[in-house]
Structure 1
Amino acid sequence: MSVVIGVRVPERLKKEMEELGIDYTKEIREYLEKRVKEEKLSRILKRLGEMQKSMKKIDEDIASKIIREERELR
């Protein structure tokens, strides 16, 4: 199912697209699909970066704990 989105463009631009045979409906649809994919990827990469930072902190905490325990055993 699809929905209609209206876009206002200068009349000159619409005429030029028609003269050049540009299928602006297709162009807009493809651009929006591409833009959504880019935004999803950006958010995923941001979350991965945040997870990596927290994992590094966990690794540092675990390493500190292991070292402390080893020292106490001596």
Structure 2
Amino acid sequence: MSVVISVRIPKKLKEEMDKLDVVWSEEIRKFLEMRVNELKKKKKLEEVKRILQGLPESPKSVATTLVREDRDSR
């Protein structure tokens, strides 16, 4: 199922669009899908950042210790 949305644009812009050989409905549909995906990713990233800020900070030497243990295990 699909729905119709309408957008008001300047007359000059519409005239310029008419001069081009473009299927505008498809272009706009693709753009909207891309933009929705970008905004969903941004929202998820902000959620992850919020969760990470709530976690306690690990001691600075932990990363060094883990890297050394990994190297020694080979």
TM-score by length of structure 2 reads 0.67
C-alpha displacement at 1:59, in angstroms?
5.7
Point out the structure with max Rg over C-alpha. 1
Structure with more contact order per residue of length (Cα contacts < 8 Å, sep ≥ 6): 1
1:24-43 mapped onto 2 (5 Å cutoff): 24-43=24-43
| TM-score, with length taken from structure 1 | 0.67
Query: Alignment identity in percent?
Result: 39
Structure 2: runs of 5 or more not aligned: 60-74
- Which residue is equivalent to 1:52? 52
More helix by share: 1
1:58 Cα offset (Å): 7.4
Displacement over 6 Å in runs of 4+? none
Gaps of 5+ in 1: 61-74
TM-aligned CA deviation for residue 12 of structure 1: 2.0
- The count of aligned residue pairs is 59
**RMSD, matched Cα:** 1.8
